[in-house]
Amino acid sequence: MNTPQRLSVRNLSIEFGGVHAVEDVSFDVEPGETFAIIGPNGAGKSTIFNLISRLYEPTAGSIHYGQQNLLGLPAHEIVQVGIGRTFQNIELFEQATVLQNLLVGRHAHMQKNPFSNFLFLPSVRKSEIEHRRRVEDIIDLLEIAQYRDERISDLPYGARKNVELARALCAEPTMLLLDEPASGLNNEETDDISFWLEDIKHDIGVTLVMVEHDMNLVGLVADRVMAINNGQLLAIGTPDEVRDNPEVQRAYLGVAE
């Protein structure tokens, strides 16, 4: 599957010991659009991502990517369907180099036979070089060439964010789930991110779904926004529509008594 598909989430619910973290949420993400999920802390934004990535098992509902029923797949096969992701708290392989991290990003496309790997047969070398070339394209795109051989544990925070984005792109996803791509970044770095997100969208043509608190970034890049609170859907629409929605304002600012 090399073209973006529609992501359809229907009546999705999950409970953690009686707490309804996500309750009866339905939405569609159209191919090629940029879709943002906003909401106060603990609203269930990351939980939705973890449900799509199959890290959590929903108590009810369905998730389809095109014709593919995601709930029938284990977590490690989600990337083969074309859905990649980043994490809120950067989950890089700390003791490995940037290059190794990016090559793991291509894991889903690689032949992994321990015996031929142990002997490093010519075919293994050939495929390594091929994957290395693909990785280099992403390195170019995100301008992280100067970090190529650095260990992650030596990198500053902003660079780690970029590397994580690069690693997700190395899997050649058609849909990318970005969990707070701008958290912890300064204004300049946030501008860079919004620039790159546009680039990624136009150059590679992936659908972007992001959880984000920075409303400026959301306003800049998002085509549609979904607001949730306490696990329930508040509003879906253009960034302006959602911002003006009274329910959304109440969730963020509280109710005037």
Binding positions for another protein, rule: CB under 8 A: 46, 50, 53, 55, 74-80, 84-85, 87-96, 99-100, 103-105, 107-108, 110-114, 117-120, 124-125, 128-129, 132-133, 136, 153-157, 160, 167, 171
Which residue lies nearer to another protein by CB, 78 or 235? 78
Instruction: Give me the least distance between CB of 63 and another protein, in Å please.
Output: 15
Sign of the alpha-carbon torsion through 56, 59, 65, 67: positive
Report the C-alpha gap between 231 and 243 in whole angstroms. Answer: 18
Instruction: Give me the least distance between CB of 150 and another protein, in Å please.
Output: 11
Estimate to the nearest angstrom the gap between the alpha carbon of 19 and the chain centroid: 25
DSSP state for residue 71 in the 8-state scheme: G
Q: Tell which phi-psi region holds residue 56, choosing left (phi > 0), alpha (psi between -120 and 50) or beta.
A: beta
Which residue lies nearer to another protein by CB, 125 or 250? 125
Helix-helix angle 157-170:98-105, to 10 degrees: 30
Instruction: Give me the least distance between CB of 185 and another protein, in Å please.
Output: 13
Which residue lies nearer to another protein by CB, 112 or 202? 112
Instruction: Give me the least distance between CB of 161 and another protein, in Å please.
Output: 11
Q: Are 226 and 27 in contact (CB under 8 A)?
A: yes
Report the C-alpha gap between 256 and 40 in whole angstroms. Answer: 18
Q: Which two tokens stand for residue 97?
A: 């180099």
Which residue lies nearer to another protein by CB, 154 or 240? 154
Which residue lies nearer to another protein by CB, 87 or 252? 87
Instruction: Give me the least distance between CB of 157 and another protein, in Å please.
Output: 6
Place of tokens 């949730």: 228
